[in-house]
Amino acid sequence: MDVAIHRAGGPKILEECRQLGGCPTGEARITTGGNLQARYVIHTVGPIYRDGLHREPELLASCYRESLKLASAKGIKTVAFPSISTGAYGYPMDEAAKIALKTVKAYLEEHPEIELVRFVLFGKAAYEAYAAALKE
């Protein structure tokens, strides 16, 4: 997802990212949207999944929470998330979906300024995992 955003958003996003000084796992940073229609891009680094015993759930939840905090601070009313860490970082989709939905729901219950959160998912397996987690 990161490569696609940088490709579509153009070099301005990368230039701004370089000025941020990195982003530790579980934290979030914000840049303009560059050439995207979105005004902002919130960048976060999810955990690399090992076995679920090395703070991965806590760090993954933090990615969503910290991203939403930045959105609130900037007055952003709509946010779109991918399924963080479930690609190259190997987080199991079923577990990640539960964490993502639980964390976002909890944040939204206390922060009505964010009106809409979308999960942009790739493939039927991701959709089904999120749909199942939503039912729980």
Q: What is the CATH number of the domain that holds 38?
A: 3.40.220.10
* Cα 50 from Cα 5, distance rounded (Å): 26
Note if 2 is an active site residue: yes
Q: Which amino acid is at 28?
A: A
Question: Which member of 1, 2, 97, 125 is catalytic?
Answer: 2
Helix (H, G, I), strand (E, B) or coil at 43: strand
pLDDT digits (tens, 9 = 90+) for 24-63: 999 999 999 999 999 999 999 999 999 999 999 999 999 9
pLDDT digits (tens, 9 = 90+) for 88-112: 999 999 999 999 999 999 999 999 9
CB 18, CB 6: distance < 8 Å = no
* Cα 60 from Cα 17, distance rounded (Å): 21
Query: What is the domain extent for residue 65?
Result: 2-135
- Length of the chain equals 136
Sign of CA dihedral 28, 122, 125, 101: positive
| Structural domain count, the chain | 1
pTM reported for the whole predicted model: 0.94
The mean pLDDT value of the chain amounts to: 96
